[in-house]
Structure 1
Amino acid sequence: MVMPWAFPPFPDDNPSQPTNEESAQESEDLRLAALVAQRLSIDWITRRQQITITVQNRVVILAGMVANVETRRAAGELAWEVPGVVDVCNALQLYGQRRSRR
């Protein structure tokens, strides 16, 4: 009886295992998220706000609630200032502001 190779036959062929390039990208995204979080926590306008920072492919996504428009703008500008960031999606909402339902 002959047994075929078990899937995957080679470690490099495992699609669920991240490649070196994917691991490097994830590390870079984590580094950028930490730098943006540090910037926001240091700035007196943004430090006490409920802001969630996510980074995907060097694109920063800001989500959560902030006190006013100035804080929202400042958070976006601070994220843009971090070297390596290629785009910022500022999805921050103001307290008391609700989305309209249609």
Structure 2
Amino acid sequence: MVMPWPLPDESWFRPDPQPPAPGGDDAWLAGEIAYRIVGGVGPRARGVSVTVQNRVAILTGTVRDPSTRRLAGELAWLVPGVADVCNSLRVRVR
């Protein structure tokens, strides 16, 4: 009989990593972020798209000015449960 040996990544002394949040939490976060962006930015948020993966908010699309881009990112950070924000919004060139 051969005694199994743990792989280098396995450790009996290290706690198990936290499981990812269920998908429903990400959907709720995306809706809450979109609601706050529309409420805070108003009609200027028309080109903003929000997706969330494992509590990381991803903002994509095109906005009119840098202040709108910055405000959308700040509003996304204010939502409880958001671990990180990837603000990939582009400013439209006139």
Task: Name the TM-score class by shorter chain.
Answer: 0.7 to 0.9
| Identity of matched residues, % | 47
Matched, 1:48 2:44: yes
- Structure 2 residue runs of 5 or longer lacking an equivalent are 1-18
- Structure 1 residue runs of 5 or longer lacking an equivalent are 1-20, 98-102
Match of 2:75 in 1: 78
What is the TM-score of this pair, normalised by structure 1? 0.67
Paired residue total? 75
What is the TM-score of this pair, normalised by structure 2? 0.73
Counterparts of residues 14-33 of structure 1 (less than 5 Å): 25-33=22-30
Structure with the larger RCO, 1 or 2 (CA within 8 Å, 6+ apart): 2
Runs (4+) off by over 2 Å? 45-49
Match of 2:86 in 1: 89
RMSD after superposition? 1.7
